[in-house]
C-alpha cells in the first residue's frame, strides 16, 4: 500500500499540523548542529495545500 493511499485512508492533511511543523522548523534552525532529529529536516518554510475537509463543507453550502 502506498503512502498516498494510506494518507487518504486516514484523511491526513498536513495543513492541520502547520503550527507544529513550524515549531519544529524553528527549533531545528537553532539546534540542528547538535540534533540528530534535525539532520534530515528541511529548514525552508513549508507551503501546505488547503484543508480539503473545510473546502468540501464550504462547497456543500454553495451547492443548491
pLDDT of residue 57: 61
Cα→Cα distances 50→15, 17, 18, 47, Å? 6, 12, 11, 10
Q: What per-residue confidence (pLDDT) applies to 17?
A: 85
pTM comes to 0.55
Residue 6 has pLDDT above 50, yes or no: yes
Do 15 and 48 touch, CB atoms closer than 8 A?
Answer: yes
Q: How many domains does the chain have?
A: 1
- State which residues form the domain around 41: 3-62
Would you state the pLDDT for residue 64? 46
Rounded distance between C-alpha atoms, residue 35 and residue 14, angstroms? 23
- Is residue 58's pLDDT more than 80? no
pLDDT, average across residues 36-59: 75
Looking at the predicted structure, is the pLDDT value of residue 42 above 90? no
Amino acid at each position: 500500500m502506498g503512502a498516498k493511499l494510506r494518507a487518504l485512508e486516514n484523511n491526513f492533511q498536513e495543513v492541520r499540523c502547520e503550527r507544529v511543523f513550524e515549531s519544529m522548523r524553528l527549533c531545528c534552525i537553532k539546534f540542528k548542529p547538535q540534533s540528530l532529529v534535525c539532520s534530515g529536516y528541511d529548514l525552508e518554510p513549508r507551503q501546505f495545500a488547503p484543508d480539503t475537509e473545510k473546502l468540501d463543507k464550504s462547497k456543500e453550502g454553495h451547492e443548491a
